[in-house]
Structure 1
């Protein structure tokens, strides 16, 4: 048996998981710890702004609260203070999710013997929402994270290639699980009055997710309807798109749905899944969709091709997406759907992901040439 470790997990909103890939990751790490023979002491840092009741524990994890928002500009001092607390409490291992607070890592390495493992969360600085000084700061933070972490996690092989090419450092490729999306009980969605045949997508309504391409392509054809779930009212971009396209009879632009049972129903009944993300690495909503065995049409970028092993269908603009929609036949749909679920069951289950994380946290991960 491996020795017991005190492990601090930082960089998320907290537990129980709300909406977000890192939060779902942490929840599943805690579940794995609870059902395994491991005796590690897990501490998860949470935002007290999101959890006003501040319960001291969740399952077998201790919870510590920081009085700041975990997202946006406040994520920097939030992660910084979490790191200071984790060091002060003499944790053996620190798992940092994201690079917002990585500016504190040189100090952590100077005053603490804690082993630092960082998931750099794709090329976060490239996202459209970050501009000017914020973009430069996040890129600098990424550099600091790679330089001062004992181990670096990339959630996608394309991100690992980027880390190697940019910083000369090998990283561990550990993706996300998606099988929780099929494990829940389905919940009826009769209130939406949806058509029998539709394409489905769920995402944040942001330019980097190419929502404008998706809705324009579907508005220009009548082969199949589109059901797209997202936070339309959170930005001018989303509000403008909804205003322009909500009158189309074949477009169903729904507000956010957080109920996994309802999402299971919507995904399982879909004829095809649309994935427009063009930034980041392995996207949680994509690996979740792959478990449903439906054909996937994804934006053509190295991250998505890596996740789907080049076996999905791809688009790069309105015309290529419209062509994929109107030419998709039953034989291709069946093959691509079977390929997606085979990949998902082989690579994207939480048991496999958690096992890889704990092996690395216990310094039992595969040794990499050239790592620090």
Structure 2
């Protein structure tokens, strides 16, 4: 993950010069909305796996909220300065994120963190709790979940409502794509910070037998409509000409 990615997040968290409410030297951040640290499931988890240690090494007390059984605390690369904390929730497709988000938010309020970094607008419903307690929130909105075909009508409405709460109560928003920021500007009249995901550069390796260097394409993606795999396959040949 590029240093620029983590440095930009650090800049957002420091932008308002939020001061610690407790008598402690280091500012504290609660990261809410992922499966925990370190976890290897998806994009948010990958981002937090790089971001949490970076913040901890740059003077922050970092607590990453997660779910029991979803992290590898024995990972030898785990940064010991990062606190991993699990809270209960309902393990169902439709309620898992929101229920864990609620219990994590309540715990973060009790522990009086200085700022909360929230992943996923489904947790937007709990932002008023942070707002009432005076805890600033930075929300990575991810994609336009209410447009995704994987969700039914009720789930889409829940995501749209969560986005509306996010637009109303979040202190700052983070977008990982310009198109997403433009959509939020249009639908919710909220600007934010554009922070694209970085990546690690792998060592150069020789291709497997039957492949020629720089003459093949690798696609790594879940086969869901939003990843436009058929369109990608159709585009490969004309783009390569």
Decide: shared fold, TM above 0.5: yes
Partner of 2:106: 84
Query: Residues 171 and 327 from structure 1, CA distance in 2 versus in 1: closer, same or farther, beyond 3 angstroms?
Result: closer
**Unmatched 5+ stretches in structure 2:** 1-13, 20-25
Partner of 2:171: 150
Write the deviation string for residues 115-148 of structure 1: whole angstroms up to 9, x where unpaired.
Answer: 1111111212211111210000001101101111
Match of 1:195 among 211, 217, 240: 211
Correspondence 1:47 to 2:67: yes
Query: Residues 187 and 59 from structure 1, CA distance in 2 versus in 1: closer, same or farther, beyond 3 angstroms?
Result: farther
TM-score (norm 1): 0.52
Alpha-carbon distance in 1 for matches of 2:74, 2:101: 18
Contact preservation (8 Å) 1:9, 1:42: yes
Contact preservation (8 Å) 2:33, 2:101: yes
Alpha-carbon distance in 2 for matches of 1:140, 1:54: 38
Alpha-carbon distance in 1 for matches of 2:101, 2:62: 17
Alignment RMSD (CA, Å):
2.8
Comparing both chains, which one has the higher relative contact order based on Cα–Cα distances under 8 Å and sequence gaps of 6 or more? 2
TM-score (norm 2): 0.78
Contact preservation (8 Å) 1:48, 1:68: no
Write the deviation string for residues 282-323 of structure 1: whole angstroms up to 9, x where unpaired.
Answer: xxxxxxxxxxxxxxxxxxxxxxxxxxxxxxxxxxxxxxx2xx
Query: Residues 155 and 327 from structure 1, CA distance in 2 versus in 1: closer, same or farther, beyond 3 angstroms?
Result: closer
Query: Residues 49 and 125 from structure 1, CA distance in 2 versus in 1: closer, same or farther, beyond 3 angstroms?
Result: farther
1:122-137 to structure 2, matched below 5 A, reads: 122-137=143-158
Alpha-carbon distance in 1 for matches of 2:198, 2:239: 31
C-alpha displacement at 1:65, in angstroms?
0.7
Correspondence 1:160 to 2:181: yes
Partner of 1:65: 86
Aligned residue pairs total: 214
Alpha-carbon distance in 2 for matches of 1:137, 1:210: 24
Alpha-carbon distance in 1 for matches of 2:50, 2:117: 14
Partner of 2:240: 328
**Unmatched 5+ stretches in structure 1:** 218-320, 330-372
Match of 1:107 among 126, 129, 136: 129
